[in-house]
Structure 1
Amino acid sequence: MKDIQIRRAGDHDFDSMWSIFSVHVSAGETYPFTTALTREAGHAYWLGPDVASFVATAGGSRVLGMYRLVSNQVGRGHHVANASYMVSPSAQGAGIGRLLGEHSLGEARKQGYLAMQFNYVVSTNTAAVRLWKKLGFSIVGTLPKAYRHKHLGYVDAYVMYQLLKDPDYWPTVDA
């Protein structure tokens, strides 16, 4: 994938990000959001104050996909990252998801996270499940019929997890 860069997302990217986000939300196949989600709520989700978002671009401008990186929990769960990813339908199948996944794992390590957890991977999103397994994630739980798929009805969702650093070398914790 020549000429693909991944960089921090900014407000100037949001129109493109919103277009990609809207397509996935409208499809009703992979994300729990409904089309009632406002543009402002979408902006907060992708570019809010505690969110680190990144975009994959072609030629430095055209947004092909994006991911967001946040803490999965607060306080005593803050060492585990959570991420969400979307690829433009016009760029699917070109390896953009893999590039974003690899970048997010590196970024999570750089930010000091010790593990990463996906709380809600729709089981019928087989491309994503396959990719996350290739990148080292394991399914650690199944949420039976937890997702209301637009076309298939109620389907399972997975919780997926990966340690980013050997726990034997994790920092000591306070009481």
Structure 2
Amino acid sequence: MRQTYKNIILIGFMGVGKGSVARVLARKMGVFAIDGDDLIESFANKKIKKIFEEDGEAEFRKIEKNLAKFLEKSVNGVVISTGGGFYKVKNLNKIGTVIYLKSNFDKIIERIKAAPNADKKLAKRPLLSDLNRAKALHKERDEAYAKKADLIINVEDKTPQQVAAKIVKLLNRKHLKG
């Protein structure tokens, strides 16, 4: 498939599989995948967990906002996986086509716990340290993600390959409609 969109931006709750889907989708489309959290860590020269611990969430969100400006002005023709709160940046839809990878909270936790490196995956997500709070956050964000999205894909019980194939199909359909 030829890239016909500025960028493809994957949003959704932490642990839903945005990074895995981005890599598969980018390969299918013949473009690069970039990870917003990796770019933030590179900019700050520390892991996200450390940014939260040492500088607080407000500083993290400030860096995230700067990343959004950079992506809008300087990045074109890539698949971008984002952190769970990236949907709040004001210029999100100017960066590219926004796709919400949707899953219920329990399925996300199942997915993370089934991963070979589950402990690491849980440890690197500071907002998952309190599952009750995280579940409330998921509920709060679900509607907001949907409002920001150009497309919504239910990812429950699907492999990254299946999700990427569905995205390509929907993007082709959307492109044909204009």
TM-score normalised per structure 1: 0.33
TM-score normalised per structure 2: 0.32
More strand by share: 1
